[in-house]
């Protein structure tokens, strides 16, 4: 199982947090999603067939900008 953090811009409400969590949990292979509003990040645990690229694309499609941090 992989554990990743996706950093995003534009996250500022509990409604948005719930929307992201619900949407990502529909992916086959996603085991856990924790959205942290104060840190603007999504902590996600998943396994194949889910992939980080597909999950980032889904967050982008929901209207959020993906931020890449080293």
pLDDT category of residue 54 using cuts at 50, 70 and 90: very high
Among 1-5, 58-62, 65-69, whose mean pLDDT is lowest? Answer: 65-69
Domain that holds residue 38: 2-67
- H or E element at residue 44: strand 41-46
How many domains in the chain? 1
Give CA 40 to chain center in angstroms.
10
CATH number at residue 48: 3.30.70.100
Whether the pTM exceeds 0.75: the reply is yes
Read off the tokens for 70.
């080293």
Cα separation, 25 vs 10, whole angstroms: 20
């Amino acid at each position: 199982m992989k554990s990743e953090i996706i950093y995003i811009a534009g996250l500022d409400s509990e409604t948005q947090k719930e929307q992201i969590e619900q949407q990502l949990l529909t992916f086959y292979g996603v085991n856990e999603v924790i959205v942290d509003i104060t840190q603007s990040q999504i902590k996600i645990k998943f396994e194949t067939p889910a992939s980080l690229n597909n999950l980032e694309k889904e967050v982008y499609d929901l209207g959020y900008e993906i931020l890449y941090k080293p």
